[in-house]
Amino acid sequence: MHGRMSDVMAMILQFTLMLIGMLMGHHLGFVLMSSGLIVGVLAMGSSYLPFYMNRLWGIMSNWEMLAVPLFLLMGNILATSGVADKLFDALYKLMGRLRGGIAVAVIIVSTVFAACTGVIAASVTTMAILSMPIMLKYKYDKKLAAGTVMAGGTLGILIPPSIMLILFGSYSNVSVGKLFVAAVVPGILLAILYVVYVLIRCYRHPEDGPAMSEKELAGVSRPEVLKEALTNLVPPVLLIIGVLGSIFAGIATPTEAAAIGAFVAFIMVIAYRRFEWKTFKAA
């Protein structure tokens, strides 16, 4: 299709086919691939097929792209390990005395989780299930609670090992390792600014994020909760340091680091006694 109207029609058809495929419950990857093929053939005829196969083979033979499923595997394994559950449970009790403390705990756990998964969906889903009922139970403002979960979840697109950075680096011929190095400080700075915003807002409007009362914290042993928080924080932090540190130091490529990270995450699941073949297969 060479005319302007034809290009617009091709875009509309592409979007329509994608929407139909997703509503029918098909996997997103197959929906994108098949809709692109159909629209390409209708728009360009048979001359599109060699281009399509060339592009498909180019992506499949790209060594750096192998890091994407490996980082996804690492994140999905950690999601079933109970690391986020235990860490959030300890942190919100530890920080419950602060106004907005539970929301701050959400951002901290989201930051750690983002550095382990590299995707948004896993972090948002996990934190929504864990934190929303607790924040609403303690009368947090609904907008603040939902916004905290969403903002914390989006850190996964920036903080390494961001899948988006891998895709961007692969398509633009930019070093993925250098992109990771460049994204660390902005990602951490953004997380800190989220925390500062929550604390300032809850200081000025205590009703938006009330502190837990002494009665609610009566059965909580501060030393034990601190020990539990550190116990559940150290393993994922060491995993993050190991994976990203090996990339930054030039010891391993992102693909090699992703493979090591997935293996270590598997060991962590076994150590936490949360290993099940069903969840491993799902990951």
The pLDDT assigned to 282 comes to 63
| 195 Cβ neighbours under 8 A, 6+ residues apart | 104, 107, 108
> In 152-163, which positions are buried (b, 16+ CB within 10 angstroms) versus exposed (e)?
bbbbbbbbbbbb
> In 219-240, which positions are buried (b, 16+ CB within 10 angstroms) versus exposed (e)?
eeeeeebeebbeebbebbeebb
Please say if the pLDDT value at position 276 is more than 80: no
List the structure tokens of 133.
């009922």
Mean per-residue pLDDT, 53-57: 73
Residue 240: in which H helix or E strand, if any? helix 222-248
The pLDDT assigned to 217 comes to 66
Which sign, positive or negative, has the C-alpha torsion 118, 120, 124, 125?
A: negative
What are 143-158's pLDDT values in tens digits?
998 999 889 888 888 8
On average, the pLDDT of the chain sits at 80
The pLDDT assigned to 60 comes to 67
Q: What is the DSSP string of 69-93?
A: HHHHHHHHHHHTTTHHHHHHHHHHH
CB 120 within 8 A of CB 219: no
The pLDDT assigned to 196 comes to 95
The pTM is what? 0.74
Nearest to 106 by CA among 75, 136, 74: 136
Judging by beta carbons within 10 Å of its beta carbon (0-12, 13-18, 19+), is residue 47 exposed, middle or buried? exposed
